[in-house]
Structure 1
């Protein structure tokens, strides 16, 4: 469902819910008395929106799972996985190492396609999948235009166009990227309201980055209770930044001991569930190279 349709649907749901709070005996009655109930209706509509915002997206998106080991990829994902244009899949580094151990040194660990020798085949694969409306490939291609990678010239307008296509195709990651761009005015005219809208759509699909960003926004606005609700969700999905923020809020008296303890337990469970022998081995190998 495209962004416009999603927005229209949410407004209609809120309007319908608010209308159900009051029943009028006729049109004249509604015209005469609606002003008395308008404030309550708006308040209830806002409450229903919050129920959706905080009630949905409690678990990470399906796109965050490694397709080989079926485990969630640790955060930040770009540091713990590789993207393969041949199949538009993100495979964790642990599975990549396991594939190398089996002799697959120069091929995709998921679909076994040989690694391309230069950027041209990668871009061709991405473009083919983008033309086929693959939101994951479209999202990745958008990022290459945004950063000027894979031999492409940096082209922010083209990146925004592709991010939008990916978001309309259901990519929570694309919504999160658009949210940051509009909120901060990166390559587009700054529109914080529009940016927040993208973050909300992404967060309700389980995007951790967007959820944490909403927390930062609410915190900066002084809405500490709302910020904490976002941080509690993202911390329990394995977001280290959110957990640290909750710890600081606890130290400042903005969160309770129970809230911090609950976030810590949830974070530890999430991190433990993302571990595997292959990932541990890959992390040790990376640490040895660094030293």
Structure 2
């Protein structure tokens, strides 16, 4: 049986931050109090006290944990991710990225159309704008370059190889499961692009069992790292659930980053 006995005074004492929320023991060199890691509202002298106090504390803990999560979700990711900037001119590439940029398999860099056209005007269209490697002339050559970067554990190359498998490009057969596994590996190595693709795979059930809860968690993680697409998807989810205030907050963040679909979402609400 646990030795700690709940003390009502512990919850109302003026120095609640320095006493166990369950038994009222004061913190000292002998009694080390530890925060509730979910809400950080109360402290406990041990696991036994935390278990005893759980039923009484559960509601407040859950509410505060949700508040802390929202604070982090809405305060992070207001600036675009590093991969959204051209490595040559250092300017943000307009959305949608695929329309306004070009991906180079040789160095896994995404170059804005402006820098790409500038290279062409200098009669250098047959080499990479960034690393000056000759442009791939065949699918086999392009695939080989991607695989070389994959072997070097380049997260963006791994993510791109996932795209190749997903669409069955460069002579490979379509394989959504293989694509998902590659995106998972790339996401673990830090690719925000891959993290977004994982979320869409979970949401649609492509290459993995459909799990919208996991999709939302991935969107949240990517959004806090500056992924405007993920932030907009979170806004769409909130809109579907009639949480208009939360939807607008997400859409506003994405819209300020230049994502037109987020602006369209705001127009739909108002």
Q: Taking structure 1 as the reference length, what is the TM-score of the superposition?
A: 0.77
* Residue equivalent to 1:49: 69
Gaps of 5+ in 1: 1-13, 251-291
* Residue equivalent to 1:169: 189
Pick the aligned partner of 2:236 from 195, 211, 216.
216
Equivalences for 1:219-230 in 2 at 5 Å?
Answer: 219-230=239-250
Work out whether 1:33 is the aligned partner of 2:53. yes
Q: Taking structure 2 as the reference length, what is the TM-score of the superposition?
A: 0.83
Q: Whole-Å Cα distance in 1 between the matches of residues 113 and 48 of structure 2?
A: 67
SS in 2 for 1:222: coil
Deviations 1:122-162 (A, max 9, x none): 11111111111111111111101101112211111110111
* Residue equivalent to 2:172: 152
Q: Whole-Å Cα distance in 2 between the matches of residues 237 and 224 of structure 1?
A: 20
* Residue equivalent to 1:200: 220
Structure 1 122/36 Cα, relative in aligned 2: closer, same or farther at 3 Å? same
**Native 8 Å contact 1:69 1:95 kept in 2:** yes
Largest Rg, 1 or 2: 2
Report runs of 4+ in structure 1 exceeding 2 Å deviation: 23-34
With 47-56 and 65-74 compared, the bigger mean Cα shift is at 47-56
Q: Whole-Å Cα distance in 2 between the matches of residues 124 and 28 of structure 1?
A: 58
* Residue equivalent to 2:259: 239
* Residue equivalent to 1:90: 110
Q: Whole-Å Cα distance in 2 between the matches of residues 204 and 130 of structure 1?
A: 26
Aligned-CA RMSD value: 1.6
Pick the aligned partner of 1:119 from 139, 154, 158.
139
Work out whether 1:16 is the aligned partner of 2:37. yes
Structure 1 77/27 Cα, relative in aligned 2: closer, same or farther at 3 Å? closer
* Residue equivalent to 1:129: 149
Gaps of 5+ in 2: 1-34
Work out whether 1:109 is the aligned partner of 2:129. yes
Structure 1 139/31 Cα, relative in aligned 2: closer, same or farther at 3 Å? closer
Comparing both structures, which one devotes a greater share of its residues to helix? 1
SS in 2 for 1:86: coil
* Residue equivalent to 2:26: none
SS in 2 for 1:16: coil
Pick the aligned partner of 1:143 from 151, 155, 163.
163
Q: Whole-Å Cα distance in 2 between the matches of residues 142 and 227 of structure 1?
A: 31
**Native 8 Å contact 2:108 2:157 kept in 1:** yes
* Residue equivalent to 2:208: 188
Q: Whole-Å Cα distance in 1 between the matches of residues 107 and 50 of structure 2?
A: 57
Deviation at 1:27, TM superposition (A): 6.0
Deviation at 1:29, TM superposition (A): 4.9
Q: Whole-Å Cα distance in 2 between the matches of residues 153 and 224 of structure 1?
A: 42
Q: Whole-Å Cα distance in 1 between the matches of residues 47 and 210 of structure 2?
A: 42
Deviations 1:19-39 (A, max 9, x none): x31234666654443311111
* Residue equivalent to 1:66: 86
